Amino acid sequence: MVKIGVPLRYSHLDDNRPILFLGERVRRCLQKAGAMVIPIAQVQDVDYADTEFDQFEELTLEEKKEIDDYLDMVDGVFFPGGNKVTPFDQYLLERCIDKDIPTLGVCLGMQLMSCYKEAFKVYETDSYINHCQEDDFILSHKVIVKKDSLLYRIIGEKEIMVNSFHHYHVSENPFYEISAVSEDGYIEAIEKKDRIFHLGVQWHPEISYDFDENSRKIIDSFLDVCLKNGHCNEEK
């Protein structure tokens, strides 16, 4: 069975205790698609939910090795949505790129990719289009897909409808190519063409997996590449 690593995200319980969590939509989608989910826990001795980005110490060699050990256990990495990026996330992404581990990022996961080798920076979205829908079971706006992209090879369509749950957008990054833009011109997907599968989308295919064919194509294509090329599968 293909093994997919998912970095945990940060939040608080109702009594304000900090927690790390794995979103149920992510878990259920990946398992339904045939994957074993491997949570990747944060490695520094701090409360990630309560620590600001500039308050983190640099990762030690031991902490970096712990992240590398996680990556030795998985065939691919799924970077989920969330509300904060940390040095842990940045190093994990760097190692996925260095090791050419199949990678799919959604929402914050794509925003993390867009700031690779740069300071993390996103911009508040101001548009006539609703980029932060409330209903989980609709597709809210159109995305235009570039024909020479991995995303187009997966979906096979120039225009698709997607869901949208974000308030911020990203700018161009010299290490990534833009795969798709929204109908109002914001970047909606990016990819690294020099890697076996390295794709980020601003929407959430894991949420619409059950009712949207294009969402299934993205998730299933990612897992298929992980199964065929992941260094943990038994055929290698």
Query: Mind listing the pLDDT tens digit for each residue in 164-174?
Result: 876 667 888 99
Report whether pLDDT(180) > 90. Answer: yes
Structure tokens at 119: 């300071």
Q: Is residue 204 part of a domain?
A: yes
Report whether pLDDT(225) > 90. Answer: yes
Domain that holds residue 72: 2-229
Report whether pLDDT(20) > 60. Answer: yes
For 139-150, write each residue's pLDDT tens digit.
Answer: 888 999 999 999
- Say which range, 58-62, 68-72, 140-144, has the weakest mean pLDDT: 140-144
- Mean pLDDT across the chain: 91
Report the CATH number at residue 70. 3.40.50.880
- Tokens 């055929």: give the residue: 235
Q: Is residue 235 part of a domain?
A: no
Question: In this predicted structure, what is the pLDDT of residue 226?
Answer: 97
* Alpha-carbon span 222 to 12, nearest angstrom: 31
Q: How many domains does the chain have?
A: 1
Q: Is residue 236 part of a domain?
A: no
Q: Is residue 171 part of a domain?
A: yes
Q: Is residue 234 part of a domain?
A: no
* Alpha-carbon span 131 to 113, nearest angstrom: 19
pTM exceeds cut of 0.75: yes
Q: Is residue 154 part of a domain?
A: yes
Q: Is residue 141 part of a domain?
A: yes
Strand order in the sheet with 177-182: 35-40, 2-7, 76-79, 103-106, 198-201, 187-191, 177-182, 141-145, 159-162
Q: Is residue 202 part of a domain?
A: yes
Report whether pLDDT(138) > 50. Answer: yes
